[in-house]
């Protein structure tokens, strides 16, 4: 069931702050060559040294309950407002080091396009410098994507809470370390809140207990209404551009990947961004989108129609791991199926 949540509007408008100016912390702390994409970096490596990171303790984490119970699909905007949020998941399971798709980030920076990254805690821990660069970039907003990309429908309550809360500790440590760098002294990190406010479910799957745990952790669960289909190798850059431009509407949230699982995403982005702007869209973060309108909230999780993600609950995922047939390095991603509503 879908509802628009007017009561959440005021609370959200207060939570999400205005955009900052792009540039300064990045330029102060990294040279252009340090920010540039590197060959091979988008490739995931299974079982590499350091590819299993212990989950940080979350006992000290406290936050007010989030104003929304359910998942945000898109945002209803005032008439004439044409905003769209591009989102990129940084999924990583324990036992692998997923990729960093520098081509995606470079395409966004080159177009001065705002975007939201949903970063897994394990990914943050294995990519400290790249994660610091994303946090430092005022174009970008960071949400979280669980600790190690388990199917949260399959986890007991204690493990569920850990998966949801652990990335908050890793984010906080990374932000603190960034602020403490000499290069960042006196620079404004105000675009990056002390604690992320947005969460995306691994595989886009949830149940009532998982929804409750996310809200209890002070996080707003964000899904999408437009899928890029980018984990599918056959989904060409042309198909991504055409599919997203055909499906997008004011207030849309588009899901894609920046962990190397978006096969043609970097190639598609320049044309996609240009196409969206030609249609009159302004690219914003999810937080800015939420602050501009009324969220359309579903009380279940799905890709494009209720029930369409049941495949993630097959016995092979009984312990919450990815499907056995999808267990190759970097397989943690979603959604791969339908590309249009």
Residue closest to Zn ion (Cβ): 91
**101 interacts with Zn ion by CB under 5 A:** no
| Least distance between Zn ion and beta carbon 203 (Å) | 7
198's CB contacts (< 8 A; 6+ apart) are: 116, 118, 141, 143, 144, 219, 220, 221, 222, 286, 287
**124 interacts with Zn ion by CB under 5 A:** no
Stretch that binds Zn ion, among 33-41, 82-90, 154-162, 191-199 (CB under 5 A): 82-90
| Least distance between Zn ion and beta carbon 145 (Å) | 5
Question: Token pair 């669980």 is at which residue?
Answer: 146
Of 151 and 207, nearer to Zn ion (C-beta) is 151
Stretch that binds Zn ion, among 29-37, 85-93, 190-198, 323-331 (CB under 5 A): 85-93
> Angle at the Cα of 123 (from 291 to 67), degrees rounded to 5?
25
Of 140 and 203, nearer to Zn ion (C-beta) is 203
Sign of CA dihedral 49, 141, 332, 211: positive
**255 interacts with Zn ion by CB under 5 A:** no
Of 152 and 298, nearer to Zn ion (C-beta) is 152
Whose CA is closest to 341, among 263, 248, 204, 261?
Answer: 248
**267 interacts with Zn ion by CB under 5 A:** no
**Position among 55, 84, 88, 89 found at the interface with Zn ion (CB under 5 A):** 89
DSSP helix/strand/coil, 74: strand
Q: How many positions of this chain bind Zn ion (CB under 5 A)? A: 2
> How far apart are alpha carbons 282 and 287 in whole angstroms?
14
Stretch that binds Zn ion, among 56-64, 80-88, 90-98, 171-179 (CB under 5 A): 90-98
| Least distance between Zn ion and beta carbon 121 (Å) | 12
**Position among 44, 68, 69, 91 found at the interface with Zn ion (CB under 5 A):** 91
> How far apart are alpha carbons 220 and 193 in whole angstroms?
14
Of 288 and 334, nearer to Zn ion (C-beta) is 334
86, HSE (Cβ side, Cα atoms, 13 Å): 32
Alpha helices in 190-285 (DSSP H): 208-216, 237-247, 265-278
Return residues touching Zn ion (CB under 5 A).
89, 91
């Amino acid at each position: 069931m879908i509802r628009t949540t007017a009561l959440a509007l005021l609370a959200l408008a207060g939570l999400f702050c205005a955009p900052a100016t792009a540039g300064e912390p990045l330029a102060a702390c990294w040279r252009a060559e340090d920010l540039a994409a590197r060959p091979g970096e988008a490739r995931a490596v299974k079982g590499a040294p350091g590819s299993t990171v212990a989950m940080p303790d979350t006992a000290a984490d406290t936050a007010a309950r989030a104003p929304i119970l359910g998942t945000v699909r898109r945002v209803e905007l005032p008439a004439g407002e044409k905003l769209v949020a591009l989102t990129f998941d940084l999924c990583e399971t324990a036992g692998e080091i997923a990729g960093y798709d520098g081509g995606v980030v470079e395409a966004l920076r080159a177009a001065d396009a705002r975007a939201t990254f949903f970063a897994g805690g394990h990914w943050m821990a294995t990519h400290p410098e790249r994660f610091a660069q994303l946090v430092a970039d005022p174009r970008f907003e960071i949400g979280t994507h669980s600790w190690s990309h388990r199917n949260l429908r399959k986890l007991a309550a204690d493990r569920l809470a850990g998966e949801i809360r652990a990335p908050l500790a890793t984010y906080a440590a990374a932000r603190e370390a960034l602020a403490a760098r000499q290069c960042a002294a006196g620079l404004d990190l105000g675009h990056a809140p002390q604690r992320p406010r947005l969460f995306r479910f691994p595989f886009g799957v949830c149940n009532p207990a998982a929804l409750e745990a996310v809200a209890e952790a002070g996080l707003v669960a964000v899904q999408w209404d437009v899928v890029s289909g980018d984990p599918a190798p056959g989904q060409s850059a042309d198909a991504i551009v055409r599919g997203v431009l055909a499906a997008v509407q004011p207030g849309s949230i588009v899901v894609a990947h920046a962990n190397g699982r978006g096969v043609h995403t970097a190639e598609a982005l320049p044309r996609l961004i240009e196409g969206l702007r030609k249609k009159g869209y302004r690219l914003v973060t999810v937080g800015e989108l939420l602050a501009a309108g009324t969220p359309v909230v579903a009380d279940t999780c799905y890709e494009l129609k209720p029930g369409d993600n049941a495949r993630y609950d097959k016995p092979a995922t009984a312990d919450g791991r990815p499907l056995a047939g999808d267990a190759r390095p970097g397989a943690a991603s979603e959604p791969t199926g339908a590309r249009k509503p």
